Amino acid sequence: MPKDGGIGASTKRREDVRFLTGKGRYTADITLRGQTYAWFLRSEVAHGKINSINTTAAKAMPGVLAIMTGEDFAKMGGNPAGWLIQSRGGETMKEPKRPVLAHGKVRHVGDAYAIVVAETLEQARDAATAIEADITELPAVVDMAKAVANPANRVHDEIENNVCFDWGWIEDNRAAVDAAFKAAPHVTTLELVNNRLAPNAMEPRASIGDYDSGTGDYKLYTTSQNPHLSRLLIAAFVMGIPENKLTVIAPDVGGGFGSKIYHYGEEAAVLAASKAINRPVKWVADRSESFLSDAHGRDHVTKIELALDKNGTFLALRTETLANVGAYLSNFATVTPTFLHGTLMAGPYKTPLVYVNVKAVFTNTAPVDAYRGAGRPEATYSIERVVDKAARELGLDPWELRRRNLITKDMFPYTTPVGLAYDTGNYQATLDKLIEISDKKGFEKRAAESAKKGKLRGLGLSTWIEACGIAPSNLVGQLGARVGLYDAATVRVNATGNISVMVGAHSHGQGHETVFAQIVSDKLGVPASSVEIVHGDTSKIPFGMGTYGSRSLAVCGSAMIKAMDKIIAKGKKIAAHMLEAPEADIDFDDGAFMAKGTNKKLTFGEVAFSAYVPHNYPLATLEPGLEETAFYDPANFTYPAGAYACEVEVDPGTGRVEIASFTCADDFGTVMNPMIVRGQVHGGVAQGIGQALLEQAVYDNNGQLLSGSYMDYAMPRADDLPNFTVDHSCVTPCTHNPLGAKGCGEAGAIGSPPAVVNAVIDALHRAGHTHIAHIDMPLTPSRVWSAMQK
Amino acid sequence: MNDALQQQILIAEHPQKKNDPSNGSGAVDERDREKRMAKVTMTVNGKSVSGEVEGRTLLSSFLREGLGLTGTHVGCDTSQCGACVVHVDGVAAKACSVLAMDVAGSTVTTIEAMHNPDGSLGVVQQAFQDHHGLQCGFCTPGMVMTAAALLAETPKPTEHEVRHALEGNICRCTGYHNIVKAVMAASGQPVSAE
């Protein structure tokens, strides 16, 4: 296959044409005949008892068609957590009902308790102001430490101390870990905060409910990363309607980063409202609603300890974390701080003993769930910060300390003490590549240049690993997952030889329409332009689990390969009949079926045509048609890894940090489209730099979100970021999927925050501020400057 | 912006700040609003268009809901994200912060008119595709419109000038690296392949 279209080519994205010409079709762009508009009334207090909601006056307002409150949804089911976690004592986690609309109590600012539907959006908003809600404000539970310590103040009345679960991983290893710490020559301890973030996909969430009273069918257009999962949750758990009476369509979706994995109450509410008024009901969040009601990310408070011997060999690692889950359990809220976080605590290192404890805490804040990286950035940040601190305490070079402890390439497959089996990798190679491409040798010279400008230059490193390609269903089932995590693809070869591929993965920026077509082109030897990728509509695609956790290529891409293997196998049978040769003698190569030892040959198109016009065809033994579906359940996680270097310049007069350079050396396994992979790393690193320097979702003591708009929440902008140097030439292909692919979507957001913070600490230490062991993210000028004054 | 306009935007954005509607009956309220309806005429993408709008109707709503030009996106409610940038009389403007009535008689250009006459991608659009300057596509129309306005004013910007000009457009996907490259390439200046 020529490299302009197959695997490994930087093929330009076909989806760009519609996005660049204003022809993208996002949910908010869709207008249905007879469409009405919804507005959600949301709590202005963090915690309150709903005494009454009087909608009489509002219902009489112009254009109002329906008003529904939590009461109207009380008989529906709750929106479930996708993963059941057991506490270390064996108790099952607390799972309070998450209703469609708040009922009885409101539990965070932005908690929706009524939906108003009217002819126009303005009428719906106007009517919402006429709803008289009598809500008694209750004390808000905001700070996690206080939430755990104060049994009287409860987010959910039935949950004492607001603890969802108290998880230990691996509990059986705890005594050995503790013993290792007691005997250790050196212990480095660090307490840190992994700051709470608002995901902020640029497209706000939106949903249109469309009920057809003629058929009893529901249709939902929504901003989802996984329409089949949403359909399952809505039909089976929340609304109690047959799954086959609901179609979920996630059309063009403007970014997700995790926040659009989950089912949200607004989706069920617009469906129910549509049925009630027998017209389509459309809701589009404004940005304020997104800040208040989208699932947030991170929000951990962690104590991490690393035990080392005098040479810097890691002996044991131990962490205690409070993880905020907010007011209700969002769908992946319980797995994110546990199995996506605790199992990563070995990092890329040989640390023989690891123990992780996580208490998940309910608070009167928006739900917290997976956000780009999901648990793995939290793990990586904790590890990479404590390793850096240990190096300073022992007087070792942080680069050399890491190198001494990295798992070496001869150790794979490598089983960690926290339950993962890394199949392959070469962490020294990415570290060496980083040293080369970041020009580490030239750092001192650059530092001197910075000093001439009055700036403090620092160099920070992180070596990271992640587990993605989520995930083997039998394994995750044993660990509490309530779903399988396979994916699926249907390859339909049309009679005229072009190909439609229906996939369970969903593209919302990743470029699947281009990359998946490259893979099909490569495998079947047909032009990529004759391959169409179909995604996002449950009435068209097989049941797949969608896109998150850097899984699309490793899992759904593998399903595509399996389906194409079936296509080729059937094609060989057809070709054998047509070429009058034994099936075993038919080879398939570069888009042609050939009979061994002859010059007889059929093109892919000829075989496809024969399958649909089966005049010369083995009808007695073979069905007509050429369409195959495959489900692929991964045998293991995939383990992308890499090394990142950040150089910063700190202004000692203001504490302002500027990123001078950022360099990434990654191993993503086999790369399909280098251009897209580089773009994914850029975006991930930008979000990581945002976390490190700029972003924080801040609640005050009353549970009011202080950073609830772009006026207050500092999104990274073009002039906050540098150009990035990225490299993915170190390749150890994944050993257990047919593409050798590992995934690249989250890497940048995982590896970058500790590199930035390590660089700032380095700059400050070089300038003599050796008392500064740590500064919590975001490293705002105020925080950095204040630390320097002590 | 005068106080009355400011107040209208506040009302549109924050209905709870509106005067208590229970002061009058719903019917009176509706008639008040009817009175505020007005016809506006402007040139959009080279065609003269008219529509009935309320005083509080934003240009972004008029384009999207009134004219079906959904390429102009709305990504925030504080005039910060820039997904809604269009050109009004040749100047980049955030359509979410302009009242439709205020641009009556003006010439408005949206992303839907940025292609070449033969239908192929325009220079800026093509540079964005060539350099992977977009991922989810949501901020893209605003980015293209801002970049085009910059290049009209500053045909050969420095990279620093590009980053500064894009400061009012937020992209969550790309980290801006490839957007900056695309704008530099659209200006005819050399950029690295990666």
Q: Which residues of B touch A687 (CB under 8 A)?
A: 172, 175
pLDDT at A151: 80
Reported as type and span, the H/E element at residue A696 is none
One domain, residues B26 and B76: yes
pLDDT at A5: 78
Q: Which residues of B touch A287 (CB under 8 A)?
A: 75-78, 81
Whether a cis peptide bond, with omega within 30° of 0, leads into A170 is: yes
Q: Are B41 and A672 in contact (CB under 8 A)?
A: no
Instruction: Check pLDDT > 50 for residue B17.
Output: no
Q: Which of A130, A252, A676 sits opposite B21 (nearest CB)?
A: A130
The CATH number of A300-471+636-789, from 3.30.365.10, 3.40.50.1100, 3.20.20.70, 3.90.79.10, is: 3.30.365.10
One domain, residues B105 and B135: no
B112 touches A: beta carbon within 8 Å: yes
pLDDT at B192: 75
Q: Are A574 and A617 in contact (CB under 8 A)?
A: yes
Q: Do B112 and A286 touch (CB under 8 A)?
A: no
Last-in-domain residue among B55, B75, B110: B110
Sheet holding A246-249, edge to edge: A64-69, A112-118, A36-42, A281-284, A206-212, A217-222, A246-249
Residue of A nearest to B145 (CA): A20
pLDDT band at residue B19 using 50, 70 and 90 as cut-offs: very low
Reported as type and span, the H/E element at residue A625 is none
pLDDT at B33: 54
One domain, residues B97 and B22: yes
Q: For residue B140, what is the domain's CATH number?
A: 1.10.150.120
Cβ-based neighbour number of residue A589 at 10 Å: 9
B77: in domain: yes
Q: Give me the total of CB pairs closer than 8 Å, taking one residue from chain A and one from chain B.
A: 204
Q: Do A719 and B12 touch (CB under 8 A)?
A: no
B167 touches A: beta carbon within 8 Å: yes
- Is B132 in a helix, a strand, or coil? coil
One domain, residues B169 and B139: yes
Q: Which residues of A touch B73 (CB under 8 A)?
A: 26, 28, 202-203, 254
Binned average pLDDT, 10 residues per bin, chain A of 790 residues: 74 98 98 98 98 98 98 96 96 97 98 98 96 98 95 93 97 97 98 98 98 98 98 98 98 98 98 98 98 98 97 98 98 98 98 98 98 98 98 97 98 97 98 98 98 98 95 92 95 97 97 98 95 98 95 97 98 97 96 95 96 96 98 97 98 98 98 98 98 98 97 97 97 97 97 98 98 98 96
Q: Are A767 and A759 in contact (CB under 8 A)?
A: no
The CATH number of A486-632, from 3.40.50.1370, 3.40.50.960, 3.30.365.10, 3.40.50.1000, is: 3.30.365.10
Last-in-domain residue among B57, B80, B110: B110
Q: Which residues of B touch A751 (CB under 8 A)?
A: none
Residue of B nearest to A11 (CA): B130
One domain, residues B72 and B18: yes
Q: Do A19 and B69 touch (CB under 8 A)?
A: no
ipTM of the complex in this document: 0.97
B23: in domain: yes
The number of folded domains in chain B is 2
* Tens of pLDDT, residues A554-613: 999 999 999 999 999 999 999 999 999 999 999 999 999 999 999 999 999 999 999 999
Among A174, A170, A184, smallest CA distance to A315 is for A184
pLDDT band at residue B30 using 50, 70 and 90 as cut-offs: low
Whether a cis peptide bond, with omega within 30° of 0, leads into A413 is: yes
Instruction: Check pLDDT > 90 for residue B28.
Output: no
Q: Under CATH, which architecture does the A31-138+202-255+260-293 domain have? A: Alpha-Beta Complex (3.90)
Give the B window 122-161 contacts with A, CB below 8 Å. 125, 128-130, 132, 134-141, 144
List phi, psi (to 5°) of A585.
-90, 0
Give me the sign of the Cα torsion angle A471, A473, A476, A482: positive
Strands A281-284 and A36-42: parallel
Q: Do B137 and A19 touch (CB under 8 A)?
A: yes
Q: Which residues of B touch A684 (CB under 8 A)?
A: 175
One domain, residues B96 and B36: yes
Residue of A nearest to B114 (CA): A21
The residue ranges of DSSP E strands in chain B, in sequence order, are 38-44, 47-53, 85-88, 91-94, 107-109
B161, with CB counted inside 10 A (0-12, 13-18, 19+), is middle
pLDDT at B24: 42
One domain, residues B85 and B48: yes
Which residue range(s) make up the domain with B23?
3-110
One domain, residues B127 and B84: no
Q: Do A300-471+636-789 and A486-632 have matching folds?
A: yes
Among A535, A587, A527, smallest CA distance to A557 is for A535
Q: Which of B13, B18, B175 sits opposite A129 (nearest CB)?
A: B18
**Interface residue of B35, B37, B57, B176 to substitute, partner A, most A CBs within 10 Å:** B176
Rg (CA), chain A: 27
Distance between CA atoms of A32 and A63, rounded to whole angstroms?
18
- Is A705 in a helix, a strand, or coil? strand
Six token digits for residue B23:
């002061």
Which residues face B147 on adjacent strands? Answer: none
One domain, residues B51 and B147: no
B53, with CB counted inside 10 A (0-12, 13-18, 19+), is buried
Cβ-based neighbour number of residue A780 at 10 Å: 17
Share of chain A above pLDDT 90, in %: 98
* Tens of pLDDT, residues A276-289: 999 999 999 999 99
Cβ-based neighbour number of residue A158 at 10 Å: 7
Q: Do A122 and B139 touch (CB under 8 A)?
A: no
Calculate helix-pair angle for A558-579, A512-524, nearest 10 degrees: 30
One domain, residues B127 and B92: no
* Tens of pLDDT, residues A3-29: 457 899 999 999 999 999 999 999 999
Last-in-domain residue among B76, B110, B144: B110
One domain, residues B83 and B104: yes
Residue of A nearest to B138 (CA): A254
SS3 helix, strand, coil % of chain A, rounded to 5?
30, 25, 45
Q: Which residues of B touch A55 (CB under 8 A)?
A: none
Query: For chain A, what are the domain ranges?
Result: 31-138+202-255+260-293, 300-471+636-789, 486-632
Q: Do B80 and A23 touch (CB under 8 A)?
A: no
Residue of B nearest to A25 (CA): B70
One domain, residues B127 and B89: no
